[in-house]
Amino acid sequence: MSAEGTGTGRLGVWLVGARGSVATTTILGALAVRAGLSGRTGLVAELPEVAAARLPALDDLVFGGHDIGCDPLVKRAERLVAGGVVPADLLPAVREELEAVEARLRPGYDTSAVRTGSGETQAEAVERLAADLTAFRIEHRLDRVVVVDVASTEAPVELGDSGALVDPVALDAALAAGEAPLPPSSAYVLAAYRAGCPVVSFTPSPGPRLPVLSAIAAGHGLPWAGSDGKTGETLLKSVLAPMFATRGLRVNAWSSFNILGGGDGATLADPDRAASKLDSKGTGLEAILGHPVQGPMHIDFVPDQGEQKTAIDHVSFEGFLGARMSLQFTWTGYDSALAAPLVLDLARLTLRAHELGESGPLPFGFFFKDPAGPAGTTPEHRLAAQWDALVAWCADGGAR
């Protein structure tokens, strides 16, 4: 057993959206840290309270993934260097390994091809994606593989009347009939479950949150974690809102302005897709405060921001005797640099959960804007309470 983790073998991390900024930073970062070129700042899994779970070592991870694009990883990495996310000197040192990962990437599920009639059915796609996962596991002799969705945000879906998004039998029937009932993010999850892989949903896309997938995960006894990585504005809300609440201060208005460039910015310039993000961002604040709060939430695409994301929030609150006071903050960060270490953390935690035989939604709300939990429970949004829950799970996991 290695000092760092259980180290019982090699483990796979399969990234959906493997050529995106977050995925590229994740892979490149893991390689750089392993090579001793970069420190472990930002990796929650390296904190003693979390490492206590006896997590797999970074060294044990093998990366692969799906993507519908074909920009080489090295090119994406160069863009991250230009954008200031990644130091210029890292790339040459890990280029060879990056190319090895490149060779393991497989074509994703391209619904635009489906729409034009040239593509496969959804049933075929799911089968193909699952086969890719199985091949990856066998080829690299991996004990287990976790599938992490870091692809572009999709629009929300309605459950509809067909039952296909609720009931596994209805879903099978729809797939068999050549229909495409699932949004792509959920098709990847179905493929993962069929291949026996646990899942992490790092985006606000439907993914594993559909009732039908929840049921399938339970049926397979697979654990999953989600959704929507909490990296900036919402992270701050999850510590500031409890501060106001426990001090008995009344938050009257919380206006949130986000400007971002990069691929994420362009995606969110599409109002349909932004809806998922805004839903996900909006839930926590009012849940913590226990009442509605005025104020807009905007996400604007400003290409000049490059890889940087700036969140500007203005909060009006009321104190004793009705005194009117305010808090304003500006958070300036690199989205990928904030997300990538959490992807590695979640991959390691979820692999460990799988090893421990856990099933269903994992108590990893600490990482998420819209934390999944057991049906019927109210999600916890307060960061400190989420941390306590994570630490408790890790202590327990380490003891087993």
Using CB under 8 A, which residues numbered 32 to 61 contact a second copy? 32, 38-44, 46-47
Q: What sign has the CA pseudo-torsion 359, 109, 134, 343?
A: negative
387 interacts with a second copy by CB under 8 A: yes
Nearest residue (CB) to a second copy, 134 versus 255: 255
> Does 320 interact with a second copy (rule: CB under 8 A)?
yes
Nearer to a second copy, 112 or 324 (CB): 324
**Two tokens at 284?**
């926590």
Residue 177's SS3 state is: coil
- One of 384, 392, 395, 400 touching a second copy (CB under 8 A): 384
Supply the DSSP symbol for 58: G
Question: Nearer Cβ to a second copy, position 111 or 256?
Answer: 256
Member of 242, 282, 360, 398 binding a second copy (CB under 8 A)? 242
Among 117, 296, 357, 376, binds a second copy (CB under 8 A): 296
Between 26 and 214, CB nearer to a second copy: 26
> With binding defined as CB under 8 A, does residue 267 bind a second copy?
no
CA distances from 199 to 269, 281, 330, 345, 365 (A): 27, 21, 33, 13, 15
Examine residue 285 and tell whether it contacts a second copy (CB under 8 A).
no
Calculate the alpha carbon distances from 384 to 120, 159, 170, 340, 388 in Å. 46, 33, 40, 21, 6
Q: Among candidates 335, 330, 333, 343, which has minimal Cα distance to 268?
A: 335
Per CB under 8 A, 84 contacts a second copy: yes
Q: Which is nearer to a second copy, 49 or 120 (CB)?
A: 49
Environment class of 385 (CB within 10 Å of its CB; exposed 0-12, middle 13-18, buried 19+): middle
**Nearer CB in complex with a second copy: 37/170:** 37
Around Cβ 157, how many Cβ atoms within 10 Å? 17
Site string for a second copy, 220-239 (x = CB under 8 A): ---------------xx--x
Please, are residues 165 and 212 in contact by the beta-carbon 8 Å criterion?
A: yes
- By C-beta, is 252 or 283 nearer to a second copy? 252
Task: Go through the chain and tell me how many residues it has.
Answer: 400
- Strands, E assignment, the chain: 11-16, 61-67, 105-107, 144-149, 199-201, 223-226, 250-260, 297-301, 308-318, 324-334, 360-361
Least distance (Å) between residue 200 CB and a second copy? 17
Specify the stretch interacting with a second copy by CB under 8 A; choose among 150-158, 205-213, 295-303, 357-365. Answer: 295-303
Using alpha carbons, select from 71, 102, 103, 75 the residue that is nearest to residue 91: 75
Question: Closest separation between CB of residue 134 and a second copy, Å?
Answer: 31
Size of the site for a second copy (CB under 8 A): 74
CB of 355 to a second copy, least distance (A): 23
* Relative orientation angle of helices 122-139 and 168-176, to the nearest 10 degrees: 110
By beta-carbon proximity to a second copy, the closer residue of 143 and 300 is 300
Residue type (1 letter), 225: A
User: How far, in Å, CA of 233 to CA of 231, rounded?
Assistant: 7
Span interacting with a second copy, options 83-91, 110-118, 135-143, 168-176, rule CB under 8 A: 83-91
Does the footprint of a second copy cover residue 249 (CB under 8 A)? yes
Q: List the interface residues with a second copy, window 157-216 (CB under 8 A).
A: none
248 touching a second copy, by CB under 8 A: yes
- Least Å distance between CB 199 and a second copy? 23
Partnered with residue 251 across adjacent β-strands are 317
Site string for a second copy, 109-148 (x = CB under 8 A): ----------------------------------------
User: By CB under 8 A, what part of segment 348-367 binds a second copy?
Assistant: 366
SS3 for 338? helix
Does 76 contact a second copy by CB under 8 A?
no
Cβ closer to a second copy: 141 or 247?
A: 247
